[in-house]
Amino acid sequence: MALDEADMTLMQAVEITHGFGAGEGQRRVLSDISLKIEAGESVALIGPNGVGKTTLMRILAGLLKPTSGRVELRGGEDLHAMSRREVARQLTVVPQARPQVFDFSALDLVLMGFHARTARFSLPSAAHQEQALAAMAELDVADLADRPASVLSGGELQRVLMARTMTSEAALWLLDEPTANLDIRHQIALLEQVTAHCARGGAALGVLHDLALAHRYFERVIILDDGKIRADGPSNSTLDDALLSQVFQVDLHSVDVGERRVWVVK
């Protein structure tokens, strides 16, 4: 049975505006952001430092309430009125900031991906342990299962958090600079998981600074500049040299290498 449009839309943000601080001193960070993410879409969010990418991701994850505007999940439900557990059934987050991981082992952290669909305080089943270890193996961190999460390196923790995302039942993955701490092999392994997830009918919105990775692994690109959406469309057309040069304020020139595209500074 084909899904109707309401089922295909995993998230819709409507006229999101956000400022930090109160009253006269409030500093506007996001203005009038509207976007929709459909099942199957891989979307990269790019833009210069400090333009509001993480702020937008936190709002879309339900971790920050916008000054005005609304975020709806499947069926038009208001994200900011839902419980964390309900939200976790629909979306999962790899945060930019290193989270507080207490005394959990790396495996415990991955098993938290099952939290939204298991009874509170229940012990993980053998099947869940197996799935968690399989996700860890995909990202080359299975041998770290028993290591305390607090001692993991930045790149190891990043891959463990991604393995947690892979065990979640949530269709929408929100990834804030998921490749930031990773070497090139692990960047590719992680982004291939994103591609596979979207091919299975999931969706992902990922903040990236690497334009070549955005072009290769994401079908759609949103460019955020000065708190506003400057462009939103297929990667091939949105990642335009003139627009990128203007937004990033350096003279960028793209070079095609087979099907891949890289950017050099002129």
Ligand X SMILES: Nc1ncnc2c1ncn2[C@@H]1O[C@H](COP(=O)(O)OP(=O)(O)OP(=O)(O)O)[C@@H](O)[C@H]1O
Q: Are strands 203-207 and 172-176 parallel, antiparallel or unpaired?
A: parallel
Q: Interface with ligand X includes 54 (CB under 6 A)?
A: yes
- Rounded CA-CA distance 64/18 in Å is 10
Q: In whole angstroms, how close is the CB of 88 to ligand X at the nearest point? A: 22
Residue of 55, 131, 187, 193 that binds ligand X (CB under 6 A)? 55
**Dihedral, CA atoms, 196, 180, 135, 147, nearest 10 degrees?**
180
Q: Interface with ligand X includes 154 (CB under 6 A)?
A: no
Listing DSSP states for 194-210 in one string gives: HHHHHHTT-EEEEE-S-
- Rounded CA-CA distance 232/44 in Å is 10
Residue of 23, 24, 49, 97 that binds ligand X (CB under 6 A)? 49
Stretch that binds ligand X, among 43-51, 127-135, 152-160, 242-250 (CB under 6 A): 43-51
What's the length of the chain? 266
Give the type of residue at 59.
I
Stretch that binds ligand X, among 6-14, 53-61, 71-79, 149-157 (CB under 6 A): 53-61
Stretch that binds ligand X, among 52-60, 75-83, 214-222, 229-237 (CB under 6 A): 52-60
Residue of 10, 11, 29, 106 that binds ligand X (CB under 6 A)? 29
- Choose between 60 and 106: whose C-beta lies nearer to ligand X: 60
Q: In whole angstroms, how close is the CB of 259 to ligand X at the nearest point? A: 28
Residue of 6, 7, 20, 26 that binds ligand X (CB under 6 A)? 20
| 74 HSE (CA, 13 A, CB side) | 18
- Choose between 53 and 164: whose C-beta lies nearer to ligand X: 53
Q: Which residues are within 8 A (CB) of 25 and not within 5 positions of it... i.e. 6 or more apart?
A: none
Residue of 9, 10, 41, 53 that binds ligand X (CB under 6 A)? 53
Dihedral sign for Cα 120, 197, 13, 21, please.
Answer: positive
Tokens of 98: 């290193």
Q: Interface with ligand X includes 50 (CB under 6 A)?
A: yes
Q: Interface with ligand X includes 215 (CB under 6 A)?
A: no
Residues contributing to the site for ligand X (CB under 6 A)? 20, 29, 47, 49-55
